[in-house]
């Protein structure tokens, strides 16, 4: 693959990992950047897709909706069966205020 | 379907059939690793229930047929983990619609089949739990992501399995293992209870040992479902009678772009042989062009990754999943996801987040969506000229375990022939088409126009009859 200026740099990886709520150790940033940049370079073959094209053909289909009304579900049972910690029918999570951001 | 016919006509009981399948699993799965979990007691209850229904006079199209279910579909009473650490211990509240329809038809669920984590992969090596091996050569991959279902069916442990196909995950492993794998038109089979990967692409379908069985399973699981807003109300057609209609006069287009891709020599010869076979059976064979097909992988890895990054944002270990020890909510999100997802899933999430991020969205996601629309248009034009399009299912036979794990892009290119039908939402089937000189299976892929399942089954069954491959136990699991 020909050399080219990198689109995905370690700094870009740091930023998108934060958006995706993933922790990428500093020592691995450049490895991820290299791998993702190789994939993105391959994707760049789409650069010649015309701006005006058949786009919209598929999105023109209306989104189907069904009537929206409450009905009994298995939510409480599913939560009780699956949540790591629950109390009084609610899932329990660690403190929300005062943590890292 | 021979198993169902035997149970329906009471030549054999569902319990007897199940015990035989469990004995095969016991004998072979230690070598193959197709199943994440086998549930004999639950399966035995289901087999006995199927026998009771048959005795009561119910007409069950899948009476007593033992099934392997890919681990991303909800089956009440079993875990559904997508072979991921982040869903370990998750028990779904109900059956997925496809599983519920199998159950109504008398099928029996023997176990959860291995898969690439969250269906992201082409070799089943991305499972967080175990490797699955190709029953034809235990040193090779079974394909993926539905590698567990394909290996279980191909090795003779069960006659049928369900897989899911986002970019080829039913067809590619079926081809690698020498089975039949069918992806229906987008919208034909409800995804209610299928764990979402890329919602504009995901579709459930059967993996079986012959085309007629795939048609039977497809008929059972297809049809409108109000629980999936993308479910189609179109009549599912008549796949089983189409499968006996023959090839004479059918317009069969061989995909020109597939042959320009620098095919593996044995795959190219296999396609040539198939061409001659269609011609000698009376089909009208022509070349056909889908000009954007070579760009399909580039389009797919933007669209599928973008959708995956959104769909997988829900995993945070709040309502389910292992809970890491942390002191605040923000850390719970980050730590559970960092510990819970494997490297390939993280790669797709990062790629998708990149493609959707401010500053990159139009250059990547917007452009890929335009290219996808052009590709769909290419197919519509091609199907004005032919009834079905034929190309290889896989660019090479199954590769060795570990051969491509360090090179994600090369791994992605394994799906070069299956991704175009996924992007255009078309029905496509992989049918066994012979073996390499080393005895590895090859598969021929047959694509139809949207909602053109009947033509796909007619062509696939006709090809299968003409080529008449022997139904033998794969050599990797022969004792």
Q: Please provide the DSSP assignment of A20-78 as one string.
A: TT----GGGHHHHHHHHHHHHHHHGGGGGS-SSSSTTTTTTSPPP---------SHHHH
Distance between CA B307 and CA B311 in Å, rounded? Answer: 6
Q: Provide the percentage of residues in chain A whose pLDDT is more than 90.
A: 42
Q: Write down the pLDDT at residue B207.
A: 98
For the cut 90, the answer to whether the pLDDT of residue A68 exceeds it is no
For the cut 90, the answer to whether the pLDDT of residue A61 exceeds it is no
B9: helix, strand or coil: coil
Q: How many CA atoms lie within 13 A of A71 on its CB side?
A: 3
Q: Write down the pLDDT at residue B479.
A: 64
Distance between CA B299 and CA B364 in Å, rounded? Answer: 9
Q: Write down the pLDDT at residue B349.
A: 98
Q: Write down the pLDDT at residue A53.
A: 58
CB count within 10 Å of CB A29 equals 17
Closest Cβ–Cβ partner in B367, B373, B408 for A35: B408
Q: How many CA atoms lie within 13 A of B238 on its CB side?
A: 4
Virtual CA dihedral for B384, B386, B392, B395, nearest 10 degrees?
Answer: -30
Instruction: Using alpha carbons, select from B303, B253, B300, B301 the residue that is nearest to residue B279.
Output: B253
Classify residue B358 as exposed, middle or buried by CB count within 10 Å of its CB (0-12, 13-18, 19+): exposed
Instruction: Using alpha carbons, select from A57, A99, A90 the residue that is nearest to residue B424.
Output: A57
- Is the CB of A22 less than 8 angstroms away from the CB of B367? no
- Is the CB of B354 less than 8 angstroms away from the CB of A23? no
Distance between CA A7 and CA A46 in Å, rounded? Answer: 15
* CB contacts, 8 Å: A45 with chain B: 295, 298
For helices B40-55 and B14-32, what crossing angle results, to 10°?
150
- Is the CB of A57 less than 8 angstroms away from the CB of B309? no
Closest Cβ–Cβ partner in A16, A42, A56 for B350: A16
Q: Length of chain A in residues, anyone?
A: 101
For the cut 50, the answer to whether the pLDDT of residue A101 exceeds it is no
Strands A90-91 and A86-87: antiparallel
How near does any CA of chain B get to the CA of A35, in Å? Answer: 8
Contact present, B137 and B214 (Cβ < 8 Å): no
Closest Cβ–Cβ partner in A51, A81, A94 for B329: A94
Contact present, B290 and B420 (Cβ < 8 Å): yes
- Is the CB of B91 less than 8 angstroms away from the CB of A39? no
* CB contacts, 8 Å: B365 with chain A: none
Which residues sit opposite B389 in a β-bridge?
B253, B447
From first to last of its 479 residues, what are the pLDDT tens digits of chain B? 899 999 999 999 999 999 999 999 999 999 999 999 999 999 999 999 999 999 999 999 999 999 999 999 999 989 999 999 999 999 999 999 999 999 999 999 999 999 999 999 999 999 999 999 999 999 999 999 999 999 999 999 999 999 999 999 999 999 999 999 999 999 999 999 999 999 999 999 999 999 999 999 999 999 999 999 999 999 988 999 888 888 999 999 999 999 876 789 999 999 999 999 999 999 999 999 999 999 999 999 999 999 999 999 999 999 999 999 999 999 999 999 999 999 999 999 999 999 999 999 999 999 999 999 999 999 999 999 999 999 999 999 999 999 999 999 999 999 999 999 999 999 999 999 999 999 999 999 999 999 999 999 999 999 999 999 998 889 899 86
What band does A97 get if pLDDT is binned at 50, 70 and 90? Answer: confident
Contact present, B388 and B455 (Cβ < 8 Å): yes
How near does any CA of chain A get to the CA of B387, in Å? Answer: 22
How near does any CA of chain A get to the CA of B1, in Å? Answer: 35
Selected residue with higher pLDDT from B168 and A70: B168
Substitution target from B78, B93, B322 for chain A, most A beta carbons within 10 A: B93
How near does any CA of chain A get to the CA of B317, in Å? Answer: 8
Distance between CA B139 and CA B170 in Å, rounded? Answer: 21
The catalytic residues of B are 70, 145, 169
- Is the CB of A20 less than 8 angstroms away from the CB of B295? no
DSSP per-residue codes, B302-322 = HHHHHHHHHHGGG-SSSSSS-
Contact present, B31 and B82 (Cβ < 8 Å): no
Tokens of B399: 């590769």
For the cut 80, the answer to whether the pLDDT of residue A64 exceeds it is no
Contact present, B254 and B447 (Cβ < 8 Å): no
Q: Write down the pLDDT at residue A70.
A: 83
């Amino acid at each position: 693959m020909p050399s080219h200026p990198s689109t995905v740099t370690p700094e870009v990886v740091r930023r998108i990992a934060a958006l995706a709520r993933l922790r990428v150790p500093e020592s691995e940033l450049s490895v991820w950047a290299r791998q993702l940049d190789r994939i993105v370079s391959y994707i760049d073959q789409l650069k010649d897709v015309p701006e005006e094209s058949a786009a919209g053909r598929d999105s023109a289909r209306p989104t189907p909706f069904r009537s929206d009304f409450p009905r009994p579900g298995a939510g409480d049972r599913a939560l009780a069966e699956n949540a790591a910690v629950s109390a009084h029918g609610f899932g329990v999570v660690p403190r929300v205020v005062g943590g890292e951001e | 379907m021979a198993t169902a016919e035997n149970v329906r006509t009471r030549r054999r009981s569902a319990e007897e059939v199940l015990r035989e399948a469990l004995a095969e699993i016991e004998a072979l799965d230690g070598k193959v690793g197709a199943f994440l979990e086998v549930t004999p007691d639950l399966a035995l209850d289901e087999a006995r229930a199927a026998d009771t229904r048959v005795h009561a006079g119910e007409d069950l199209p899948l009476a007593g047929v033992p099934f392997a279910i890919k681990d991303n579909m909800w089956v009440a009473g079993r875990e559904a983990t997508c072979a991921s650490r982040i869903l370990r211990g998750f028990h779904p509240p109900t059956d997925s619609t496809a599983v519920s329809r199998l159950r109504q038809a008398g099928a029996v669920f023997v176990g959860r089949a291995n898969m690439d984590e969250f269906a992201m992969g082409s070799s089943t090596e991305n499972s967080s739990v175990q490797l699955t091996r190709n029953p034809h050569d235990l040193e090779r991959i079974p394909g993926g992501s539905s590698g567990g279902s394909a290996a279980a069916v191909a090795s003779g442990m069960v006659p049928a399995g369900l897989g899911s196909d986002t970019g080829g995950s039913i067809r590619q492993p079926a081809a690698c293992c020498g089975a039949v794998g069918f992806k229906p038109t987008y919208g034909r089979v409800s995804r209610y209870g299928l764990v979402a990967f890329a919602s504009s692409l995901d579709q459930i379908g059967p993996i079986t040992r012959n085309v007629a069985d795939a048609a039977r399973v497809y008929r059972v699981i297809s049809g409108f479902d109000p629980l999936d807003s993308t479910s189609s109300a179109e009549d599912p057609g008549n796949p089983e009678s189409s499968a006996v209609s023959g090839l004479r006069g059918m317009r069969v287009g061989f995909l020109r772009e597939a042959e320009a891709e620098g095919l593996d020599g044995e795959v190219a010869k296999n396609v040539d042989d198939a061409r001659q076979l269609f011609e000698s059976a009376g089909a009208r064979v022509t070349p056909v062009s889908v000009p954007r097909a070579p760009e399909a992988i580039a389009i797919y890895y933007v669209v599928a990754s973008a959708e995956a990054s959104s769909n997988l944002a829900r995993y945070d270990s709040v309502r389910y999943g292992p809970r890491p020890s942390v002191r605040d909510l923000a850390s719970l999100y980050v730590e559970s996801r960092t510990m819970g997802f494997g490297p390939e899933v993280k790669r797709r999430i990062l790629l998708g987040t990149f493609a959707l991020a401010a500053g990159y969205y139009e250059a990547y996601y917007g452009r890929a969506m335009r290219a996808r629309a052009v590709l769909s248009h290419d197919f519509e034009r091609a199907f004005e000229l032919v009834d079905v399009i034929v190309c290889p299912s896989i660019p090479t036979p199954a590769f060795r375990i570990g051969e491509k794990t360090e090179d994600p892009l090369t791994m992605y290119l394994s799906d070069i022939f299956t991704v175009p039908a996924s992007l255009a939402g078309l029905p496509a089937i992989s049918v066994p088409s012979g073996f390499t000189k080393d005895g590895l299976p090859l598969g021929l892929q047959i694509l139809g126009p949207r909602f053109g399942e009947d033509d796909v089954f007619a062509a696939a069954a006709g090809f299968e009859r003409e080529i008449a491959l022997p139904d033998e136990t794969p050599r990797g699991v022969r004792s």
